[in-house]
Amino acid sequence: MKKFVSVIIVFLLLSSNQLTTFAARNGQLDLKSKGAVLLDSDTGAVLYAKNADKKMYPASLTKIATAIYAIEKGNLNSMVTVSANAVRQDGTRVYLDEGEKVSLKQLIQGMLVNSGNDAAVAIAEHIDGSVEQFSVNLNAYLKSTIGVHHTHFINPNGLFDKNHFTTAMDMGLITNYAIKNPVFAEIFGTKVLKWKGKSWKTTILTHHRMLKGELAYPGVTGGKTGYTSEAKQTLSTTAANSKIRLTAVVLNSVQQRDKYDDTARLFDYGFKNFQHGTLVQGQIFKLANKEYFPATNTLITESVKGSTRVLNNEGVLLIKNNSNGHVLQLVPLKYKEPAPEKIFVKSESAVKKGEKDKHLTHVNAIYGVMIIALAGIIVGVRKKFIRKF
């Protein structure tokens, strides 16, 4: 009996470290998170969405936006002087000291890998002088550079404020944009970070349990966790196999385990059902009497069960999933200008020759009239001469 109980206990312990996955029923995944989105990391195609445009709180997923903005605007080798305001931040920290000097890159590493709220504020103050100005500039950057429209951040770390919000779709777009930067991608995928600060020397492990391997999932390449009591559990994760790269974001999960199980379900669905195709440069798509074409070879995402390509009136090609009719991707095409009608234009020599011919015709006509008149005179004189003799 004891042996049987021991086996059960071991089984339960092992199963607690296995991600739970379920197949989609009627195209719907059994997700516990209130908001979720699955994107193709390369094409941006939307493969799955749940309340994707509903405003929710991101918690520390905010730091993804802070990181890519700081990487693109700042000098990674510049030294940041830590303020008292940064040191006073609540929640997870990297235990900075007031007046401590740390490189911008190290602060970004501490912010993403250990979710340091103090590091995030130190970054904001270094980049734009204050948290307030940083937030204004960050929001403008997210809108103009990345193209999000339902996000408003008022701090760099995601500590709760009712006016600090985003959506699953916006966070997916932000993550997709950020991972194309090699510096960000390297830090986002860091599992172990040796930290050497003024008062804290340690080895930091990523908080992301799938990336760390605690909840193993093949192909995970990066991730960021988040939690506040108001936002609940949030997670952004990237993964890849030999055919496709995926980005998954889940928001507002009640239990920590739920966000990992939901992310695994999203990845299972994406890897099983989608693949890449290519629109060949110059390939013609017709609508009525108009023709459109891709200017370059263009990567697209298609369902493994088949996709339909539909051209709309604006010259945008819609890639539709044959299974459910959902639009996966929008591809703007170039309009092919119709060939101009051929108009025959005489050369200069031809024009001169024509004018010369016209002149000769005119002269010949005069000569003809004169000859006819002379002939008439001769005939008249001859008749008169005959009568006389």
Catalytic residue among 63, 224, 259, 320: 63
169 vs 144, 208, 280, 369, CA distance in Å? 16, 20, 29, 91
Extract the tokens encoding 313. Answer: 């009136």
Active site residue 135: no
Say which DSSP state 146 is in.
Answer: I
Helix residue ranges per DSSP H, 129-250: 131-141, 168-178, 182-188, 209-212
d(CA 269, CA 27): 10
User: Are residues 234 and 223 in contact, defined by beta-carbon separation less than 8 angstroms?
Assistant: no
Strand-pair partners of 102: 80
Active site residue 191: no
Extract the tokens encoding 232. Answer: 């609940």
- DSSP symbols for 346-357: --HHHHHHHHHH
Residues in the chain: 389
Say which DSSP state 59 is in.
Answer: G
Sequence-ordered list of residues with C-beta below 8 angstroms from that of 149, at least 6 positions apart, any chain = 143, 170
d(CA 281, CA 297): 5
What does DSSP say about strands 274-279 and 285-287: parallel, antiparallel, or unpaired? unpaired
Catalytic residue among 33, 83, 115, 303: 115
Extract the tokens encoding 111. Answer: 């912010």
CA torsion sign, 147 to 152 to 153 to 159?
A: negative
Extract the tokens encoding 136. Answer: 């204004």
Sequence-ordered list of residues with C-beta below 8 angstroms from that of 133, at least 6 positions apart, any chain = none
Catalytic residue among 33, 41, 60, 253: 60
Active site residue 60: yes
d(CA 65, CA 362): 85
Q: Which residues are catalytic?
A: 60, 63, 115
